[in-house]
Structure 1
Amino acid sequence: MPIIKILPHAEYCPDGAELKAPAGTSICEALLDNGIAIEHACDQVCACTTCHVVVREGFASLSEMEEGEEDMLDRAWGLEPNSRLSCQAILGQKDVLVEIPKYSINHAKEKH
């Protein structure tokens, strides 16, 4: 079972976190299932960028990015070459290290 390491984020996990999730799970699902309330305004259907993460390690082990995600990521704040929408990034067998960006373009936070 892969391990997701999350770098510290002032709002979502101030001390950082390390959690296990089964392969085939999206990063977003894994974070939410483990009490890390990452924004996901579109309910994980690849229609916004609020769940944007930067994958610092393990990028190649994630599911391949589809065109819809690529198009949506163009709108994300702080886009980097190893950015993914966490709702679309499906875990493989290897561990990943992710960073939740400081900002998102969500104008009204949802309380999910």
Structure 2
Amino acid sequence: MPKIVVLPHEDLCPEGAVLEANEGDMVLDVALRAGISIEHACEKSCACTTCHCIVREGFDSLEESDELEDDMLDKAWGLEPESRLSCQIHVADEDLVIEIPKYTLNHAAENH
């Protein structure tokens, strides 16, 4: 069973976390179930960048991003080569280490 290691984030997950996931699970859903309130203003429809994360380990195990996700990522704060939208990442057979950036383009949290 793959794991998702969430690196410490000052507001969302100060201690970091290790989350159990099943192959095919969406990273955002796994985090939300664990109480890590990653912003997702577009309700997981790949129409914003608020769920942006950086895949620090396991990036090569993921399916490639599509053109829509790439277009959205171009607008993300703190974009890096391993950036993805957590609403578009489906866990494969390897563990992932993700970092949630400190900021999003939203001025206020949606409080889902």
* TM-score band w.r.t. shorter chain: over 0.9
Structure 2 unaligned residues grouped into runs of 5+: none
Other-structure match for 1:45: 45
Report how far residue 2 of structure 1 moved: 0.7
1:65 matched to 2:69 = no
The aligned amino acid for 2:64 is: E
Percent identity, please: 58
* Bigger mean CA offset, 70-79 vs 26-35: 26-35
Count of equivalent residues: 112
Query: 1:93 is matched with which residue?
Result: 93
Which SS does the other structure have where 1:18 is aligned? Answer: strand
Alignment TM-score, normalising by the size of structure 1:
0.97
Contact 1:63 1:91 in 2 (8 A): no
What are structure 1's unaligned runs of at least 5 residues? none
Please state how far the C-alpha of 1:108 moved relative to its aligned partner: 2.6
CA–CA separation in structure 2 for the residues paired with 1:63 and 1:26: 12
TM-score normalised according to structure 2 size: 0.97
Q: CA separation in 1, counterparts of 2:66 and 2:107?
A: 26
> How many angstroms apart in 2 are the aligned matches of 1:108 and 1:6?
22
Which digits, 9 at most, give the CA deviation of each residue in 1:34-76, with x for residues without a partner?
Answer: 1111100000000000000000000011122111000000000
The runs of at least 4 aligned residues of structure 1 exceeding 3 Å deviation read: none
Partners of 1:5 and 1:17 within 8 A in 2: yes
User: RMSD over aligned Cα, in angstroms?
Assistant: 0.7
